[in-house]
Amino acid sequence: MTQPAPKQHWVGHADLDAFYASVEARDHPEYRGRPLVVGALPGHRGVVAAANYAARKFGIHSAMPIAEAYRRCPDAIYLPPDMARYSRVSRDIFRILETITPMVEPVSVDEAYLDLTGLERLIGSPETIGREIKRRILEGTGLTVSVGIGPNRLIAKLGSEYRKPDGLTVVHPEQVPAFLSPMPVASLRGLGRQTEKIFSRLGIKTVAQLRSLPLSYLEVQLGKRAAANFHQQALGIASAEVVPGRGRKSISRETTFEEDLLDQETLHAVLRRLTAKVAATARREQLSGSVVTLKIRFAGFETHTRQHRLTVPTHDERVILREAWRLFLHGKLPRKPVRLIGVGISDWQQPDSEPTQADLFEPPQKREKDDRLLETLDRVADRFGKGKLQLGYATKSERRKLR
């Protein structure tokens, strides 16, 4: 008997072009073709949240101080962000993407991965699917999207970045090496400042150069884990798994320490950082979890998990952190140096379920206000990189540093 041919995976990455600015131009035809900047207003403190392509020609980009943008182009149209409107458009976009496949994994308000495997019979070739995604988004929302399609997530993402705006790039498996070769190593995922420095010291500029180096050499330079990661990426090897937002069972983050850690203040600070990421993902996917899980590993892979069930499901990092820390302190865990710490939430609330008893103890206005604050934080984080803004509960040592 012959073995069936292995199934070809196809992953798509869709990314709206200059999303906030494009929504403004769509809703105000008189702005079209003119440089347009969404963000703080000139004369005020603050930064650019989004700039359209006409404004980018002046060198204006996201996170640039608004004063600098104004200096470069005083004639641009400057608008404050209208987050409620952008969220509505975002929901339309996801609804349209789900007409292509239910396997849509949201990355941010205007970005998603799609599992396109097996759609050839239904829609057509990857090129046809890509054109179809673009057509449906344009007809449904009046906005352009750049789409990358390839055998895995890495290639799909690089594909959508390859030609922007309004791009479509399909990379077939046999084209992957040639597609990656000329790319700067900086286009690879997870390249931190430290690794960037090492690459530049070694004179590695392109993916082709990186690929030509033996893994053993990279291991000496970068350490085992990073070496394996970048070696794989240089070969175009990456996950093809797409996790649809509603399909996932839990959201969790964990981190392993290079040296085992006993200091509670540091552990609390790390847990807070992980919790912020978990909560941001949950909010982006509009999920609220009822169970908080803490995971702790000590030297020698001795691993413990502790769980707490909440009366009210949450995506609030303050609640998750409070419960996770309570589990750490009172979960009858041994007092030993910690190798790994992780936090997660699970057991989603049905979005349309009745409020539970405990909700009655908190006035609804307050909950809405909290949600708005958290959403604003998410958007700032999406735009300007994580870690710039956190809710105010600094640890003692951080407070000392701030003084």
Alpha-carbon separation of residue 307 from 115, 346, 371 (angstroms): 32, 10, 24
Give the contacts of 200 (CB within 8 A, at least 6 positions apart): none
CB of 304 to Mg ion, least distance (A): 41
Q: Does 382 bind Mg ion (CB under 5 A)?
A: no
CA atoms 308, 310, 314, 320: torsion sign: negative
CB of 160 to Mg ion, least distance (A): 9
Q: Does 15 bind Mg ion (CB under 5 A)?
A: yes
Q: Indicate the residue among 167 and 344 with the shorter CB distance to Mg ion.
A: 167
**CB-facing half-sphere around the CA of 185: CA atoms within 13 A:** 25
**Region of 92 on the Ramachandran plot (φ > 0 left; ψ -120 to 50 alpha; else beta):** alpha
Q: Indicate the residue among 16 and 319 with the shorter CB distance to Mg ion.
A: 16
Q: Does 210 bind Mg ion (CB under 5 A)?
A: no
- Looking at 24, 105, 111, 317, which residue is catalytic? 111
Q: Indicate the residue among 19 and 78 with the shorter CB distance to Mg ion.
A: 19
CA atoms 145, 146, 149, 154: torsion sign: negative
Q: Indicate the residue among 110 and 317 with the shorter CB distance to Mg ion.
A: 110
**Interacting residue with Mg ion among 39, 73, 101, 110 (CB under 5 A):** 110
Query: What is the rounded distance in angstroms from the CA atom of residue 181 to the CA atom of residue 176?
Result: 9
Q: Indicate the residue among 25 and 294 with the shorter CB distance to Mg ion.
A: 25
Quick check: is 111 catalytic?
yes
**Interacting residue with Mg ion among 14, 16, 23, 270 (CB under 5 A):** 16
CB of 328 to Mg ion, least distance (A): 38
On the question of a cis peptide bond just before residue 244, with omega within 30 degrees of 0, the verdict is no
CB of 16 to Mg ion, least distance (A): 5
Which H or E element spans position 79? strand 77-79
- Is-contact 154 236, C-beta < 8 A? yes
Burial, 175: exposed, middle or buried (Cβ in 10 Å; 0-12, 13-18, 19+)?
middle
**Near Mg ion in 17-76, by CB under 5 A:** 19
Size of the site for Mg ion (CB under 5 A): 4
| Stretch of 110-118, 129-137, 172-180, 302-310 lying at the interface with Mg ion (CB under 5 A) | 110-118
Q: What are the residues binding Mg ion (CB under 5 A)?
A: 15-16, 19, 110
Residues labelled as active-site residues: 111
